[in-house]
Amino acid sequence: MNEELYLDFLAKWQEIVSILVFVVLGIGVLNYIFYRINFSLQKTLKEKFDLASEKETKKLLSGHILIAIALFLFCNTLEYETMKLDFVWFFIRLFVAMCIGVLYGYIAQLILKFYYPRILEKKLKKLRFTPRINPENGNKMKLLSEAEEDAYLDEGMQAEENVFSVDYDVWIDEATGYTKIEKYKGHLSALECDRCGFQTLRLEKEEIIREATETEDGELEKEYKCSYCNRIKRKTVVLSHKIRDTSGGGRLIDDPLTHDARISIVKIEIHSSKGEVREFDFQNLDQARNFLNEFDFEKLEEESY
């Protein structure tokens, strides 16, 4: 490479990259500031909960990606005098900067995946269980227990809770009787029934219609049933000719719970073979027992994806 052309290119590169460092960092900072402003503008704790649970981790991840890019660009502004000696140094610096940027992004992604969920969970619990205020008179409202709230839920809502696809919180102002019902995502997945509109369509059984062979795909029929309106829906799924044996699917059989009036909360931890940990809190033993009876590890893994 012609030395004069290389030095000219290097000078322009240095100028452009120095500007891009601040541009990328600025975008990252503004991205997070806009999220915090949006969060603070949410009128209710439920709206803040929904926003944080859906977007906070994504916003932090995008912010760290931008920081990684800015770090890569910044490293490409260092040792400018050394870069003038030979164009080979330019590519060495480029490679080292890329390694540093990728390393930062990878570490940030691991922290957000394995460490930050516990921090976010504490934040979401605070948003969800902070006493609500009656907008009519400013009174603090009481959160009803699972047994008490059924009187305020219609049959469809109770059916959604019974299959753990949706969890409802019922807040009541004991002085006036004013109630507020909030809807949250449940512990297990369920489809929305196309007849009644509730998230109560659950997989009932699976049947292999045609066995897969070494050369041909097979067919698996899944039958779903709505626990509210009893709608039956069938779906055919193609089985790959390489079938993975999932007969040891890990369903909990023994019931480890016993009645004990001293228990005020039941916590269940699910540890996957991939190192992921899922925690579930229940207000009483009956709710935890129903969850264990319905629990299917494979469905839980499918939901996480």
What are the helix (H) ranges across the chain? 3-41, 45-51, 57-75, 80-83, 87-110, 116-129, 146-149, 155-162, 285-294, 297-304
Question: What is the C-alpha R_g of the chain?
Answer: 27
The whole-number pLDDT of residue 1 equals: 55
Tallying the residues shown for the chain, one arrives at 305
The whole-number pLDDT of residue 248 equals: 44
Q: Where do we find the tokens 């009541």?
A: 172
**Structure-block tokens of residue 208:** 């292999």
The whole-number pLDDT of residue 271 equals: 63
In the chain, where are the structural domains located? 3-129, 131-189, 190-244, 252-305
Q: Which of 146, 16, 10 is nearest to 87 (CA)?
A: 10
Q: Which of 138, 142, 188, 136 is nearest to 167 (CA)?
A: 188
Q: Say if residue 133 is exposed, middle or buried (CB neighbours under 10 Å; 0-12, 13-18, 19+).
A: middle
**Structure-block tokens of residue 67:** 């920081």
Angle at 89 between CA 69 and CA 97, to 5 degrees: 15
The dihedral sign for the CA sequence 93, 94, 99, 103: positive
Q: Which of 220, 218, 222, 215 is nearest to 201 (CA)?
A: 222
The whole-number pLDDT of residue 239 equals: 64
Half-sphere exposure of 90 (CA within 13 A, CB side): 13
How many angstroms separate the Cα of 151 from the Cα of each of 41, 128, 144, 172?
33, 21, 10, 12
Residue partners of 26: CB distance under 8 A and separation at least 6: none
pLDDT in tens, 36-79: 999 999 999 999 999 999 999 999 999 999 999 999 999 999 99
The whole-number pLDDT of residue 282 equals: 64
The whole-number pLDDT of residue 254 equals: 44
Helix axes 57-75, 87-110, angle to 10 degrees: 160
- Integer Cα distance of 277 and 270 in angstroms: 6
**Structure-block tokens of residue 81:** 């005098």
The whole-number pLDDT of residue 13 equals: 93
* pLDDT mean for each 10 residues of the chain (305 residues): 83 93 94 94 93 93 95 93 88 95 94 89 91 92 85 80 77 91 74 76 75 76 80 76 46 46 63 61 66 62 49
The whole-number pLDDT of residue 262 equals: 53
The whole-number pLDDT of residue 305 equals: 45
Q: Where do we find the tokens 């309106």?
A: 229
**Structure-block tokens of residue 269:** 């931890």
The whole-number pLDDT of residue 192 equals: 76
